[in-house]
């Protein structure tokens, strides 16, 4: 663990409440307040769960600005600024820094992909343009472009490349990354079903979809671990596994948006190509949410 982590525990990859008329900032503000009241340690705005691919640049920037202003230094705000166009990622990064984001989250390039050498150059260029720490986001199932453990060693040499959101799903690769880095970068789980496994390898928390609907329970997993209650953390991780699986039974953020709507936090509205959950999938998620007394 680095000496000054961006956060420790749970960062909610927060949904963006939308309606046919645009972003619902009133709902967004209420949701941010509730997440903080429930004890989350940071908020990631305009990530995948926030539907950033279908936000206009103006909406993307306004969501970052609004979140930073509304949080008002209560917890760190991490802005999703990644793109497969490095110049665009630099533009969004500079904006996020200018309005007071505490860190940035930058995904690997999707569709055009890159070599490992290209990834290092891209991340260095974005980090050079940033005034805040960067979390590198590795999610090859979405982007088709993964980061090798050895590449993280090169990335760690940049003073503003501070951490990893690791969602490659391969515990062996994550173990190799932790071994090679030896604490040079913080590691966060990018998968809710691997919070405890990744913390057992030295990770310090999770960037979470689950914590949208169950913030207190997600925080409790990490708190139990940090307090030395390994068995308690493991038990809660496994107890929440059916709910976690239901939240990913269709493409994220389709299920979590449905769940948040059922809890009254937003409309169940998504922009194409995302569509509302099928009835069968919703029945599965609804049952899991009722089991956890969320609805």
Task: Write out pLDDT tens, residues 279-288.
Answer: 999 999 999 9
User: Angle at Cα 63 formed by Cα 42 and Cα 101, nearest 5°?
Assistant: 45
What residues pair up with 23 in beta bridges, in sequence order?
Answer: 18
Identify the CA nearest to 150 among candidates 181, 189, 129, 123.
181
Q: Which domains does the chain carry?
A: 9-229 (3.20.20.70)
pLDDT higher than 90, residue 273: yes
Length of the chain: 295
Q: What are phi and psi of 21, to 5 degrees?
A: -95, 0
Instruction: Tell me which DSSP letter residue 90 carries.
Output: H
> Which residue shows structure tokens 């930058």?
106
pLDDT higher than 60, residue 201: yes
259 vs 256: CA distance, rounded Å: 5
Instruction: Report the pLDDT averaged over residues 101-123.
Output: 98
Long-range contacts of 146-149 (CB under 8 A, 24+ apart): 146/108, 147/108, 147/116, 147/119, 148/116, 149/173, 149/176, 149/177, 149/179, 149/180
Q: Check residue 129 and give its pLDDT.
A: 98
Q: Check residue 189 and give its pLDDT.
A: 98
Q: Is the pTM of this model over 0.85?
A: yes
- Confidence class for position 2, pLDDT limits 50, 70, 90: low
> Which residue shows structure tokens 């453990």?
149
User: Angle at Cα 253 formed by Cα 240 and Cα 116, nearest 5°?
Assistant: 95
Round the CA-based radius of gyration of the chain to a whole number and report it: 18
Share of the chain above pLDDT 90, in %: 99
212, burial (CB in 10 Å: exposed 0-12, middle 13-18, buried 19+)? buried
- The catalytic residues are 137, 165
Q: What is the mean pLDDT of the chain?
A: 97
Identify the CA nearest to 199 among candidates 182, 221, 232, 184.
221
Task: Write out pLDDT tens, residues 18-73.
Answer: 999 999 999 999 999 999 999 999 999 999 999 999 999 999 999 999 999 999 99
What residues pair up with 18 in beta bridges, in sequence order?
Answer: 23
Task: Write out pLDDT tens, residues 145-167.
Answer: 999 999 999 999 999 999 999 99
pLDDT higher than 60, residue 1: no
Q: Check residue 286 and give its pLDDT.
A: 98
Instruction: Tell me which DSSP letter residue 273 carries.
Output: T
Q: Check residue 293 and give its pLDDT.
A: 97
Instruction: Report the pLDDT averaged over residues 127-142.
Output: 97
160 vs 96: CA distance, rounded Å: 15
- Confidence class for position 78, pLDDT limits 50, 70, 90: very high
Identify the CA nearest to 49 among candidates 76, 22, 19, 16.
16
User: Angle at Cα 121 formed by Cα 117 and Cα 125, nearest 5°?
Assistant: 170
38 vs 45: CA distance, rounded Å: 17
Token pair, residue 59, equals 């909406």
192 vs 138: CA distance, rounded Å: 15
- Confidence class for position 85, pLDDT limits 50, 70, 90: very high
């Amino acid at each position: 663990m680095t000496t000054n982590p961006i956060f420790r525990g749970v960062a909610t990859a927060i949904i963006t409440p939308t309606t046919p008329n645009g972003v619902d900032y009133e709902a967004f503000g209420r949701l941010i307040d509730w997440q903080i009241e429930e004890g989350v340690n940071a908020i990631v705005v305009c990530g995948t769960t926030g539907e950033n691919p279908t936000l206009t640049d103006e909406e993307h920037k306004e969501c970052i600005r609004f979140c930073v202003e509304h949080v008002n230094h209560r917890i760190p705000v991490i802005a999703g600024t990644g793109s497969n166009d490095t110049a665009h990622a630099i533009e969004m990064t500079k904006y996020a820094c200018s309005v007071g984001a505490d860190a940035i989250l930058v995904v690997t390039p999707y569709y055009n992909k890159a070599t490992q050498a290209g990834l290092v150059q891209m991340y260095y260029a974005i980090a050079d343009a940033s005034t805040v720490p960067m979390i590198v986001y590795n999610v090859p199932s979405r982007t088709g472009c993964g980061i090798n453990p050895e590449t993280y060693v090169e990335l760690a040499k940049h003073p503003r490349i501070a951490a990893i959101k690791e969602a490659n799903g391969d515990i062996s690769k994550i173990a190799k990354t932790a071994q090679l880095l030896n604490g040079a970068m913080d590691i966060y789980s990018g998968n809710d079903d691997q919070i405890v496994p990744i913390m057992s390898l030295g990770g310090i928390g999770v960037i979470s979809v689950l914590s949208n609907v169950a913030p207190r329970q997600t925080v409790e997993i990490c708190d139990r671990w940090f307090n030395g209650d390994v068995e308690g953390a493991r038990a809660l991780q496994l107890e929440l596994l059916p709910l976690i699986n239901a939240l990913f039974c269709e493409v994220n953020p389709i299920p979590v948006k449905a769940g948040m709507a059922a809890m009254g936090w937003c409309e169940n509205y998504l922009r194409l190509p995302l569509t509302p959950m099928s009835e069968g999938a919703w029945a599965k998620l609804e049952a899991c949410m009722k089991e956890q007394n969320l609805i």
